[in-house]
Amino acid sequence: MPRTAAALPWALIAAACFGSFAASSSGTTRAPFLLDMATDLDVSMPLVANLVSLTSITWGVTSAVAGWLSDRIGRRVVLVAAPFALALSLLAQALAGSFFWVAVWSAVGGACAGAFTGTVFAEVSARVPDSQRGRALGWVMSGQSLTLLVGIPMAAAVGSLVGWRGWFWCMGGIALVASLGLLATVGRGSAGHVRGMVRRPFRAALSRQVLGLLATGVAERICYGLAAVYFATFLQATYKLGLAQVALPLAIFAIGNVAGTILGGQLADRVRDRLGTFALAMALSGIACIALFLWYPSAEMSVALGFIYVLLNALGRPSYMAALASVPDDVRGTVLGLNGASASVGWMGAAALGAAMIGWVGFEGFAYLGAALAAAGAIGALLCRPRAA
């Protein structure tokens, strides 16, 4: 047992986790500065907020393209170049004199972040045995989860001293450190997976099981996104809380996400039926979603239910990713890159469907929408389980 644990490439996992934090924070930590950016750039605040949608589009497109490219030229060049280019795009945003150029460089930054995410999951998956893949991927995903817990509060604190442009300089430095960390830990051997192999056509990566899992992943990301995007608004509208009063609830929500991701990684390596684990987590999160958005006797209870909901959702994610990564190595980058694209679709769907639901029936509609999508995700995962021999 100790020898198995020592086999994990912890330096690579740490660098991948930090890189995931940098990629996710590059766009998400813009949230505290929407009003300041709008004033500085002389545009409306909703226009600045729409940068999230813009970066989601470029993120999804390049995630798919870079995943395929990494299967052809090797992953090292993508993993080092993407965060380095992200650092340059962040510095360009800090220096931009108009909203147009901020939008242009935001789109470039989203593309760089998308190129990194699918590829890093493929690299870590290839460097660990299947029996430990859930734990390794769980740690990498925790870097994204830490954006909510650490990234946004840190952005608000540092930005209060140096402004939004100063914070973008800081983020550029973080992305540069991530690039150097990956340069030191990935190693040239990561390109070897493309040598001496018969390259499969693109359609070989798109088996029926993979397509089914990607569709299931969209449902899961919408379920998560509904709460991640609108939880603060739900608390403010339901309990008349101010912005300062939702800071602690949001921190508790983020802790649930981090804890679920780490625990889910351990669970993925201990339960053989990973898709069954994911399906159970989705089903339980659907029940928690109903309770969260239909029963709110007090703010404390809603915060507790939000913690449970996001914990259950995150608990199944490493099992899902480990199952998706169980494809031949020469198409793994392509498959996990497509997962990044499907996740972007899920995030955009969560924002759009959530806004429509609020305008139509209010937050109560989230309960039925989230439960239906969780059920669809659970059923989809069960249908995608490999047939017994």
Given a cut of 70, is residue 194 above it in pLDDT? no
389 pLDDT band, cuts 50/70/90, is very low
Asked whether the predicted pLDDT for residue 283 surpasses 80, the reply is: yes
Establish how many alpha carbons lie within 13 A of residue 134's alpha carbon, considering only the half-sphere containing its beta carbon: 27
Cβ atoms of 8 and 140 closer than 8 Å = no
Residue 133: Cβ within 10 Å count: 26
Place of tokens 């991948």: 16
Residue range 219-231: mean pLDDT, rounded: 87
The conformational region for residue 362 under phi > 0 = left, psi -120 to 50 = alpha, else beta, is: left
Is 66 within 8 Å of 119 (Cβ atoms)? yes
Domains of the chain in start order, with CATH, are 1-197 (1.20.1250.20), 199-389 (1.20.1250.20)
Enter the pTM of the model. 0.80
Band of the pLDDT at 24, cuts 50, 70, 90?
confident
pLDDT tens digits for range 353-375: 888 888 889 889 999 999 999 99
pLDDT per position as a tens digit, 51-62: 877 888 888 888
Confidence (pLDDT) at 327: 79
Q: Which pLDDT value is given to residue 330? A: 74
DSSP secondary structure code for residue 42 in this structure: T
DSSP letter assigned to residue 246 = G
